[in-house]
Amino acid sequence: MDNRSIAQGQASDQLLTRVSGLVRAEARETEAIKARRDDPALQAEGTPALGRMRQVWTDGKTRKWSARKLIQGSFLLIVVVPVLAMAFYTWCWATPRYVSELRIAVQTADPAKTVGLADLIGLGASSQASNQAKAVVQYIHSRNALEAVDRRLPLRASYLSDSVDFPARFHGKTDIEAMTRYWNRMVEAYYESSTSTIVVRVAAFVPADALKIAQFVLADAEELVNRMSARARDDSVGFAMKNVEQAEARVLAVGRRFQELQDKEAMFDPMKAAEMNIRLAALLKEQIAQRSADLTTLRTQTPNSPSVRGMEQNISSLRQELAKVEAQATAATGTSRPSDNRPISSVLGAFEPLANERTFAEKAYQSALTSLEMARMEASRQQVYLSVIVPPGLPEEADFPRPWRHTGLTLLVAGAIWLIGLLGFYSVREHM
């Protein structure tokens, strides 16, 4: 305000200097006309020359009188009248307006992160706290904030009171839209990005009303922040729980299909059955090899012994059993097997996709459980809350009106406008 006053004062001085120069030039012109009129040489030339000089003097005097009246009238209309009106309004008519100011900040429990170059130059992404702070500012200027305060404090009765001066009083229909526009005139809220705080200034015509409105606005803003924070937590945890439910349903569905296949194939675990089949086949082969070696030795020593025949039958039985075991593992080429005696390889082919799917579903379920636990921890850790930096207080001095300040500003602005107009008037007159 001081720099603006100095600049306007310098502009006013320049305008006054220019106007003074124009006035002196006009005075010199008038003196020259008067000197020519009193010159004896011109009077000796005859009556026509004297008449013309008298006519020029009369026209110049008339123009000078008209310009003076115009300047005086414009000064009265542009400067005197507005200054007197402002002085009368601020000193005698205006109702005192009290302002209760509060400063709040939306903070979060996030751990401090490293600030990069993008954040320093303002290109970084907006944080959750700053977004919610801007949402609080929008809420304070909204219809909902007005209605919430009006339910606890009769704002219409306060704004429509006869004790309030006519220019500052609420006019028009008492609909909610008009009240919201008037509310935005009385309540100012903005977000300071440099300090990350919300500044709220509540104006009222009674100090107690200003304090109450500010307290109600603070309570409503805190409730809004808590509601948005709870909604964010519920959304994150709810999304994680939904994923857990889907993963659990998938595990149960795959388990039911696997059990149905077990009942259908009459086999609990084809992988273990195949391992047992392989072990049994290896054992039979080992026994056949040992019996074959014993048979060779026995034939060499006692070829006609009855034990040779018995050992040959034993080896033949072992080979038949080995053939059955191998036939259970996989179907022999060119043989047709009944449907109720399927080989393990075909059963394993039916079990393996379900087993893989069950393993994947179980891993997905474990991952969903881990995500749910992390979401719960994140929700409890990233809690957003409203911090009151400067609480609302009871105002003791009226913020408006301030008669000396407003009258002086009116005089300064009106004087500058009048001087600019006067300079334009003389500039146009010089070129005519």
* Burial group, residue 384, by CB count within 10 angstroms (0-12, 13-18, 19+): buried
Domain ranges (residues) in the chain? 2-94+413-430, 98-240, 245-378
Nearest CA to 163 among 205, 211, 130? 205
Which is it for strands 197-204 and 187-192: parallel, antiparallel or unpaired?
antiparallel
Proportion of the chain above pLDDT 70, given as a percent: 67
The rounded distance, in Å, linking the Cα atoms of 66 and 75 is 14
CATH 3.30.1890 assigned to domain 98-240? The reply is yes
Pair 380, 41: CB distance under 8 Å: no
Pair 422, 71: CB distance under 8 Å: yes
175 pLDDT tier (thresholds 50, 70, 90): confident
The answer, yes or no, to whether residue 8 has pLDDT greater than 90, is no
The rounded distance, in Å, linking the Cα atoms of 257 and 262 is 9
CA quadruple 115, 121, 125, 130: dihedral, nearest 10: 90
The answer, yes or no, to whether residue 227 has pLDDT greater than 60, is yes
The answer, yes or no, to whether residue 365 has pLDDT greater than 80, is yes
201 pLDDT tier (thresholds 50, 70, 90): very high
Q: Residue 248: CB partners within 8 Å, gap ≥ 6?
A: 365, 368
Q: Residue 158: CB partners within 8 Å, gap ≥ 6?
A: 204, 205, 206, 209
388 pLDDT tier (thresholds 50, 70, 90): very high
199 pLDDT tier (thresholds 50, 70, 90): very high
234 pLDDT tier (thresholds 50, 70, 90): confident
Q: What is the pLDDT of residue 112?
A: 46
- Measuring CA to CA, how many Å separate 316 from each of 287, 290, 299, 321? 11, 13, 16, 9
The answer, yes or no, to whether residue 371 has pLDDT greater than 70, is yes
Q: Round the CA-based radius of gyration of the chain to a whole number and report it.
A: 51
Q: What percentage of the chain's residues is helix, strand, coil (to nearest 5)?
A: 70, 10, 20
Q: What is the pLDDT of residue 118?
A: 45
The answer, yes or no, to whether residue 342 has pLDDT greater than 80, is no
CB atoms near residue 70 (< 10 Å):
12
Span 86-143, pLDDT tens digits:
888 888 888 889 999 999 999 876 544 444 444 544 444 356 778 889 999 999 999 9
Distance of CA 85 to the CA centre of its chain: 45
Lowest mean pLDDT among 324-338, 367-381, 415-429: 324-338
Span 41-89, pLDDT tens digits:
544 444 454 444 445 445 555 555 577 788 888 889 989 999 999 888 8
Span 291-310, pLDDT tens digits:
777 777 777 777 676 776 77
